[in-house]
Structure 1
Amino acid sequence: MDIGTTSEQDVFTEELRILKAAKSDVAARKQPDPGQYGQLVDHYEKLLKTTMKLSRISDIQGRTLKEREQELKSAHAELQHMELLRRQLISDISHELRTPITSVQGYVKAFLDQVIEPGEAYLSMLYQKLLTIDQLITDLFQLSTLMANRHPLHFHPVPVGPWYNGLQTRFELEAAGKGIRIEFQPLRNETGHMSPQEQKLRIDQAKIDQVVTNLLDNAVKFTPSGGAVRLHGLLSERPPEATVLSRTETASDALRWFTLFVEDTGEGIDPIDMPYLFERFFRAGDVAKRGVSGAGLGLAISKEIVFRHGGQIGVDSEPGQGSRFQFSLPLHDGEPLLDVPQVPNR
């Protein structure tokens, strides 16, 4: 008798046993017409089949309801996350834009009241403030969309060796203008697996170049004239550790990694400031007093970009000994790397 699935037979074990026994009893009577007893057995079999079908439908509906419930929970969690990001963005805009906007407003009012003449120096200063506001808004928008996993990334395979070698001239002119040397070291390969020319990253190159630019820009800013900024890359079986290390719970578990180190010979970072370096708007020590520009968003943006690549970012530093920032990305040999939304471990 073919009736129901194995799981259903497990649930209706007793009923199926009774049906089997009754049908055997009917067959054993060897009568062409078993009469009302045989009809009763036939009706019982039909009823049992209908009950098992209803049970199957109920199970399917139950599973569907659980799936929908999980989808609703995920959607609710995402909405809560988006609302938190929205509030953060509004708070950041109102807090960070208030000072430059108030400054611009004050000068414009002074022009209108003829307190000062709108000369070239004042207009140039206002123009720079407006550029600062525009850049701040752009950075805030990018950071918010990255954190909300709404910033599209476009992954492509990029050979590690040529890409790394191309970094050598990235900041040479700017650094030379400040009396700073860019020291570039050959890429070290500790994987024992293919040459750097064969190994590939699967990245959004424009975004990873932005991370490199942020780190190099910071290194040049905080290195005094006569100092040096060193770049060196490493291919290894696991990403190196750092004093402060930021990574997501869903970071890649790749067997081979590329790490870029950007090291400066500046003043170093106070240990008190170290845990907060990758937070939005954080500016270590007396940065503002030293006239170093920036809103404190570059490292936060870099962290989100690296997270979206399944990587990690960190820093080592001691006061008076300079700083070494690093980020690590998984290496890939052609398998697809999907842009799967991740929730950073913040």
Structure 2
Amino acid sequence: MGLLERIYKWMFRSLANQLLFTYLVIIVISLLAVSLWALFAIKSESVTDLRNSLEVEAVHLALEIDNDLGMDSEKSRQRIQSAVDRHATKLGVAITVVDRDGRVLADSSTISPAPDGVNISNDSEINDALAGIVAIYTRNERTTNSNWLYVACPVRAAGQTTGVIRVGVQLTEIEQRLHRDLIIFLEIIFATGVMTVLISLWLARRVNRPLQEMSMTARKIAASGDMSETVPVKRPDEVGELARSFNQMIRRLREQERLRQEFIANASHELKTPTMAIGSVVEALQAGAAEDPKLRNQFLESLERLVDRQANLLQDLLDISRLDSGQDMSLKNEINVQQLINDAVYQVQPNAEKKQVEINVDSDLDGAVVMGNSIHLQRALVNILGNAVNYTSKDGNVGIKATLDGINEVEIKITDTGIGIDAEDLPKIFERFYRADKARSRASGGSGLGLAITQEIIARHQGSVSVESEVGVGSTFVVRLPVKVQAPPVERPLESDADKDAVLGSHE
């Protein structure tokens, strides 16, 4: 495995390593960029200052030797050489003076001086200066193996160039200073990198510790199924908020697991009871009860009731399982609320007639329509109506009152004159397998799931269901559902008798 591959795997092994590497790369690149910019700025400023000072020195010397440049005599050349040596010694620079033809008149250089009279007009800076331009050049001199900065200034008299003064200086000092600055910057980058690594490690571990705790807790739950542990929340930032959300999820899962276990236990019990009863009836029939016509009929009727109860329980379990999973829950159909109520009443009417319970419907819905699943909504109303009929004694009555509450909601009130529900039981009647009157519920074939299914269906339709009850007086269930707002129909005048007949015929 190559070094780069090992580094790559190490970097992505944990969030802390990724944060560390990211911080380090960003800071090192930023410091390198700043250092290079600073070195370039220092060099540029230093060369500019040096160039300006050399140009000023050339101007001062030109003013001093201006008259001597126009004379072609030994004394004038001596004065020029004396002035050149004096200025060169004072500033530590190399100065060369040439005449208008490019011949050397004086040179202060001690390393490789140009002989008097030698023509150096081919040098770039001398050539440009003879043309009247202040020339600035940097080049490497082979004799010293160093970089030199040259400034060549023309000397003019009566509008003509009478000579050139070239001032040169080695750039060694500037380059040495830049080298020292570079070393200092590299030391700063190294020290900053070390500090970055230390601080990044501390920050990364501080950020990563809650995540590692959450990961360990999740692995424990996955391995053992024990959801009793939570992650300690010690921070108010986003990581702390994540830990709080994680704990809320654990508590939610714990509650869901408790409900699941209760559901399984209750479902097993509810399935076991009629199954054992069916077994007892079958044993009785096998033991000889089938020989007696009267006993046989009684046992068969009992067996029929037990099978119906078992079928109803299985259907309830299947329905609540579908609701939990979100299956078969299309809510895009338009449902006429009046028709929905009529269909629900039609289903419970035979049982009501058998118990001699009267069902009264008072509806003023004006064609109200809700969006949803008609089968599920009908099941919800049937559950409430069925309970109302079952818990209402002979000659009692069940009332249904449906009204529009404004233009956005329909209210369906189902009132009975039954036994009522105790105040202690009211908050729990929508829980699964809960029975306010356990003896009567089992006798009537109830599974304890009907109202839980009803509440879930109504909630899926963006509605609500509530209950008020008084023991010995009766109960009132209130279902509220959002109504689809429809535009008022546009009336079109009928133009002929044929049109009228066509409309009337369509309603027949």
Look up the match of 1:246.
Answer: none
Q: CA offset at residue 207 of structure 1?
A: 1.8
Q: CA offset at residue 301 of structure 1?
A: 1.7
Choose which of 395, 407, 420 in structure 2 pairs with 1:225: 395
After superposition, the CA RMSD in angstroms is 4.8
In the alignment, is residue 37 of structure 1 matched against residue 181 of structure 2? Answer: yes
Alpha-carbon distance in 2 for matches of 1:138, 1:286:
20
Look up the match of 1:109.
Answer: 283
Look up the match of 1:88.
Answer: 262
Choose which of 457, 476, 484 in structure 2 pairs with 1:324: 476
Q: CA offset at residue 209 of structure 1?
A: 1.7
Q: CA offset at residue 91 of structure 1?
A: 1.4
The SS at the match of 2:481 is strand
* Residue-by-residue CA offset, 1:28-52 (whole Å, 9 max, x unaligned): 3326864463587589789989x79
Look up the match of 1:186.
Answer: 364
Alpha-carbon distance in 2 for matches of 1:260, 1:290:
27
Structure having the larger proportion of residues in helix: 2
Choose which of 310, 316, 319 in structure 2 pairs with 1:139: 316
Alpha-carbon distance in 1 for matches of 2:329, 2:271:
31
Count how many residue pairs are aligned between Structure 1 and Structure 2. 291
* Residue-by-residue CA offset, 1:119-150 (whole Å, 9 max, x unaligned): 3442342133123123223323433564xx32
User: Match of 1:184, as an amino acid?
Assistant: D
State TM-score, norm by structure 1.
0.63
Relative distance call for 1:103 and 1:328 in structure 2 (3 A) is same
Extract unaligned runs of 5+ from structure 2. Answer: 1-21, 48-174, 216-241, 487-508
Alpha-carbon distance in 1 for matches of 2:249, 2:334:
38
Q: CA offset at residue 166 of structure 1?
A: 3.8
Alpha-carbon distance in 2 for matches of 1:79, 1:37:
62
The SS at the match of 1:152 is coil
State TM-score, norm by structure 2.
0.45
Look up the match of 2:221.
Answer: none
Higher-RCO chain (CA-CA 8 Å, sequence separation at least 6): 1
User: Match of 1:137, as an amino acid?
Assistant: L
Alpha-carbon distance in 2 for matches of 1:141, 1:289:
20
Look up the match of 2:299.
Answer: 122
Q: Is the 8 A contact 2:435 2:441 kept in 1?
A: no
Alpha-carbon distance in 2 for matches of 1:263, 1:87:
34
User: Match of 1:156, as an amino acid?
Assistant: L
* Residue-by-residue CA offset, 1:134-170 (whole Å, 9 max, x unaligned): 3223323433564xx324252333446x233442353
Alpha-carbon distance in 1 for matches of 2:485, 2:188:
62
Relative distance call for 1:272 and 1:122 in structure 2 (3 A) is same
User: Match of 1:154, as an amino acid?
Assistant: M
Q: Is the 8 A contact 1:155 1:205 kept in 2?
A: no
Relative distance call for 1:267 and 1:102 in structure 2 (3 A) is closer
Look up the match of 1:164.
Answer: 338
